Chains A and B, each alone.
Chain A
Amino acid sequence: MTSATSGRWAAWWAWVLEVAAVAILYYAAGRIGLTLQLPDTNASPVWPPSGIGFAAVMLLGYRIWPGITIGAFLANLHTLPPTAAGLGASCGICFGNTLEHILGLFVLRRLVGSRNPLERASDVFWFVLAAGVGCLIASTNGATNLWMWKIIPGSIYGQVWLAWWLGDVAGILILAPVIFTLFQQSEFGWRGMRVLEAIALFVLLAAVTQFLFGDNRGWLDLELMDSLAYAVVPGIAWAAFRFGPRETALAAALVSAVAIVNTSNGSGPFYRQPADIGPRAVRSSDEGSTITLPELNAGEGTQMPGGTAEPSDLTRRQRAESLLMLQIFVVAIAITAAMLAGAVTERDRSEQALRDLNATLEQRVVARTAELKQANEALERSNQELDDFAYIASHDLREPLRGINTYSTFLLEDYQDKLDEEGQSKLNTLQRLTRRMESLIDSLLTYSRVGRTELAVQETNLGEMLAEILDSLDVVLKERGVEVRIQQPLPTVRCDRVRVGEVFRNLITNAMKYNDKPEKWIEVGRCNTDAALEGSPCAEGFPATFYVRDNGIGIREKHLDSVFRMFKRLHGRDQYGGGTGVGLTIVKKIVERHGGQIWLQSTFGEGTTFFFTLQRG
């Protein structure tokens, strides 16, 4: 035998054991249910087997159905008269009882899915609905069977049906949560005060219920007692708020049990003393004996009509009333308990989930911040290293270069008479090249310096600064015939005066150099919120943005991105006054060190506008 087959056999045997256990429990519960019958009726207000059956399908699934069928068949067979009719009715009823749980579970799974239905208020509502819908089958099937086999007359079909239905529903609502929650994990530790509190709760609840339902008429005879029955609800709430669904279900079961036992003993607010059965003192001696009531064979606890006198209509009505009130009480308590426990559990769960979420969020924020900080530090370090490298490399490169320049100058000076024109020209080229090399290295140095050194931030009057710059460029500007227009007076801002001066000087010099129009102009200004001036280059929503605009040669769109790239030139080395191609790279770096941004708009052949800000944001 392979292990796979042995595994299958083990599973089969486990199933057989489960089915047998459910059948036995169901049957035993049926026997207990019969002892809960109200006086002078065969009706059990609560049919405990339906609670067993429903808990069984909730815990074990549809496959447990044979256990329910067998248990229900035996319980009914034991209860119904030992005749062919009794056997037939038992067969009919047991399938209805099985279907009740199959349908109930189907509805429950449809509405709630596979999660625990007692942990949310809305799920509890569906749980109640599933129980109610499932029990419709059992009560309809049961009452019809009893009527068909002529065990009850058609005249009380409605009463039997209702009592059956309510009894089954009450059984499910009271017992199924108790059994089901027994198999769920308890959420808190049972320690010290907690145990004491639980004991206090159950003792107090039992005592109060006993007081309300027991024989207290001697010293508290109030019409109010009927509604006082519901005074147990605060105790249920106590269980729900201080403990879990399991304890709340137990509390509801305890209250129901005490209420039913007392009512079946002929006391309590729901007991209506039948008019035709003497005073209670007399009747109580009959306790334990079964008085058969053909009119009210509710639940499966039905017995053959027997030799008692026909009760009056009044008696019948009072008995039906007692039963109905008790059943409604039990169902109401059960629903209240399950709803409260579900709502409280749901609240606790969501609070816990929120706390967990907060904790994980905090953790994630901390972790992420640490990561970012690390990445930032690494980036800063590598930036710093790059700047240091650029500085040191360029600094050390300059010395030999200076030597070459110096010695070629010496040659030109000392050997002027020995060198012919061609030799001198070549030496001049050498000098020109070293000067170019030097200016490239200088640019690199300046660039790295902007990144390396702290900004000397101070209040700077940009208007004055611009005037100084234009003053120093005056000769060149006049020479080239460039008109500079200052659109708005520039403000005083906090910035590095020298560096921002470089930005303006560079942009203005560029605007001046890259211009081939006969009438050249440069416009310097600042965008205001209200600067929707005619012809202003400011798009809306760019306050505190400075701009330098020209009517120069413009930049082709495909080059817009590369103008800020180091040593990138768009034109030949000797066109437009030459240059190293690092000016805009430095400008960008300065602007960014201030936390600002720089961008441009350009139309090829018409002009360019550079925009920049000096602040974050």
Chain B
Amino acid sequence: MALAPDRSILLVEDSPEDREATVRAIKKAGLTNALFWCDDGDKALDYLYQRGEYAGPGKAPRPGVILLDLNMPGSDGREVLVIVRNDPNLKSIPIVVLTTSTDVRDIEAVMALGANSYIVKPVGVDGVVKAVQQLQSIWKLQF
């Protein structure tokens, strides 16, 4: 159970409590990758395009996976998802959506927007493990 250790994880999440739970679950799942955190969608886009506070070499390494919350102030998760999926440079980055909804419709909707997997919040170890397994099966140990 591992992601390529040289790849970082970008966590986009506005709630500090949810972030803490997610970080904890990632660690518990045994992932040791570098973790970057943006607390809204606009900052996430700045990070990905290395602009604003993320301008400059080394400040924003290209992530190996994005954990994306959906409901955020400013640009929300769905917008980020669409922009990343339509950018030729970014679209190969796997995205795991963090959702509060268990409704089949909602999940189908974000998968249709281009998410590769999802974890229902609060994020626990099981969710992280399952998502990583799913990514690995799709990308065939691409990390």
Q: Are B17 and A395 in contact (CB under 8 A)?
A: no
Q: Is A83 an interface residue (CB 8 A)?
A: no
Q: Is B121 an interface residue (CB 8 A)?
A: yes
Task: Give the residues in chain A near B20, CB-CB below 8 Å.
Answer: 406, 410
Q: Is A494 an interface residue (CB 8 A)?
A: no
Q: Is A403 an interface residue (CB 8 A)?
A: yes
Scoring A403, A410, A445, A453 by chain B CB atoms within 10 A of each residue's CB, the highest score goes to A403
Q: Which of B17, B71, B105 contacts A403 (CB 8 A)?
A: B17
Interface string of B91-127 (1 = CB under 8 A from A): 0000000001111110000000000000001100000
Residue of A nearest to B14 (CB): A399
Task: Give the residues in chain B near A446, CB-CB below 8 Å.
Answer: 103
Task: Give the residues in chain B near A419, CB-CB below 8 Å.
Answer: none
8 A Cβ contacts from B1-57 to A: 15, 17-18, 20-21, 24
Q: Which of A395, A405, A498 contacts B100 (CB 8 A)?
A: A395
Measured CA separation A409–B28 after assembly (Å):
14
B137, chain A: closest CB distance, angstroms: 24
Query: Given contacts A395-B71, A402-B122, A410-B24, are A449 and B17 in contact (CB under 8 A)?
Result: no
Task: Give the residues in chain B near A456, CB-CB below 8 Å.
Answer: 105
Measured CA separation A384–B121 after assembly (Å):
27
Measured CA separation A449–B122 after assembly (Å):
21
Q: Are B24 and A403 in contact (CB under 8 A)?
A: no
Q: Are A405 and B122 in contact (CB under 8 A)?
A: yes
Q: Are B105 and A453 in contact (CB under 8 A)?
A: yes
Query: Given contacts A402-B18, A410-B24, are A449 and B103 in contact (CB under 8 A)?
Result: yes
Scoring B15, B17, B103, B121 by chain A CB atoms within 10 A of each residue's CB, the highest score goes to B17
* Total chain B interface residues with beta-carbon distance under 8 A: 15
Residue of A nearest to B15 (CB): A399
Interface string of A464-504 (1 = CB under 8 A from B): 00000000000000000000000000000000001000000
Q: Are A498 and B104 in contact (CB under 8 A)?
A: yes
Measured CA separation A410–B121 after assembly (Å):
15
Task: Give the residues in chain A near B103, CB-CB below 8 Å.
Answer: 446, 449
Measured CA separation A601–B32 after assembly (Å):
60
Measured CA separation A445–B71 after assembly (Å):
15
Task: Give the residues in chain B near A453, CB-CB below 8 Å.
Answer: 105
- Chain A-chain B contacts (Cβ-Cβ < 8 Å), number: 35
Q: Are B105 and A498 in contact (CB under 8 A)?
A: yes
B136, chain A: closest CB distance, angstroms: 27
Question: Size range of the interface on A?
Answer: 10 to 19
Task: Give the residues in chain A near B121, CB-CB below 8 Å.
Answer: 402
Q: Is A599 an interface residue (CB 8 A)?
A: no
A39, chain B: closest CB distance, angstroms: 108
Residue of A nearest to B71 (CB): A395
Q: Are A403 and B18 in contact (CB under 8 A)?
A: yes
B77, chain A: closest CB distance, angstroms: 14
Q: Are B15 and A403 in contact (CB under 8 A)?
A: yes
Q: Is A407 an interface residue (CB 8 A)?
A: yes
Q: Is A398 an interface residue (CB 8 A)?
A: yes
Measured CA separation A126–B122 after assembly (Å):
94
Q: Are B21 and A406 in contact (CB under 8 A)?
A: yes
Measured CA separation A449–B102 after assembly (Å):
12
Task: Give the residues in chain B near A409, CB-CB below 8 Å.
Answer: 21
Task: Give the residues in chain A near B104, CB-CB below 8 Å.
Answer: 498
Task: Give the residues in chain B near A445, CB-CB below 8 Å.
Answer: 101
Measured CA separation A470–B121 after assembly (Å):
28
Measured CA separation A446–B106 after assembly (Å):
12
Task: Give the residues in chain A near B21, CB-CB below 8 Å.
Answer: 402, 406, 409
Measured CA separation A442–B24 after assembly (Å):
25
Task: Give the residues in chain A near B71, CB-CB below 8 Å.
Answer: 395
Query: Given contacts A406-B17, A410-B24, A498-B105, are A398 and B100 in contact (CB under 8 A)?
Result: yes
Task: Give the residues in chain B near A410, CB-CB below 8 Å.
Answer: 20, 24
Measured CA separation A403–B121 after assembly (Å):
11
Task: Give the residues in chain B near A442, CB-CB below 8 Å.
Answer: 102
Task: Give the residues in chain B near A395, CB-CB below 8 Å.
Answer: 71, 100
Residue of B nearest to A501 (CB): B104
A154, chain B: closest CB distance, angstroms: 112
8 A Cβ contacts from B58-117 to A: 71, 100-105
Task: Give the residues in chain A near B101, CB-CB below 8 Å.
Answer: 445
Q: Are B17 and A402 in contact (CB under 8 A)?
A: yes
Task: Give the residues in chain A near B122, CB-CB below 8 Å.
Answer: 402, 405-406
Interface string of A385-402 (1 = CB under 8 A from B): 000000000010011001
Q: Are A407 and B100 in contact (CB under 8 A)?
A: no
Residue of B nearest to A399 (CB): B15
Query: Given contacts A395-B71, A398-B100, are A407 and B17 in contact (CB under 8 A)?
Result: yes
A449, chain B: closest CB distance, angstroms: 7
Measured CA separation A407–B17 after assembly (Å):
8
Measured CA separation A405–B15 after assembly (Å):
14
A274, chain B: closest CB distance, angstroms: 112
Residue of A nearest to B18 (CB): A402
Measured CA separation A346–B100 after assembly (Å):
76
B25, chain A: closest CB distance, angstroms: 10
Measured CA separation A498–B17 after assembly (Å):
33
Residue of A nearest to B17 (CB): A403
Task: Give the residues in chain B near A405, CB-CB below 8 Å.
Answer: 122
B70, chain A: closest CB distance, angstroms: 11
Measured CA separation A436–B69 after assembly (Å):
24
Measured CA separation A402–B104 after assembly (Å):
21
Task: Give the residues in chain A near B17, CB-CB below 8 Å.
Answer: 399, 402-403, 406-407
Residue of B nearest to A398 (CB): B100
Measured CA separation A409–B18 after assembly (Å):
12
Q: Are A406 and B18 in contact (CB under 8 A)?
A: yes
8 A Cβ contacts from A398-430 to B: 398-399, 402-403, 405-407, 409-410
Residue of B nearest to A404 (CB): B17
B22, chain A: closest CB distance, angstroms: 10
Measured CA separation A406–B103 after assembly (Å):
22
Task: Give the residues in chain B near A402, CB-CB below 8 Å.
Answer: 15, 17-18, 21, 100, 121-122
A501, chain B: closest CB distance, angstroms: 10
A-side residues, CB < 8 A to B, are: 395, 398-399, 402-403, 405-407, 409-410, 442, 445-446, 449, 453, 456, 498
The 5 A-B pairs of least Cβ separation, nearest first, read A403-B17, A406-B21, A402-B122, A406-B122, A406-B17
Given contacts A399-B100, A498-B104, 8 further A-B contacts (CB under 8 A): A395-B71, A402-B18, A402-B122, A406-B17, A406-B18, A406-B21, A407-B17, A409-B21
Q: List 26 A-B pairs, Cβ < 8 Å.
A: A395-B71, A398-B100, A399-B17, A399-B100, A402-B17, A402-B21, A402-B100, A402-B122, A403-B15, A403-B17, A403-B18, A405-B122, A406-B17, A406-B18, A406-B20, A406-B21, A406-B122, A407-B17, A409-B21, A410-B24, A442-B102, A445-B101, A446-B103, A449-B103, A453-B105, A498-B104
B-side residues, CB < 8 A to A, are: 15, 17-18, 20-21, 24, 71, 100-105, 121-122
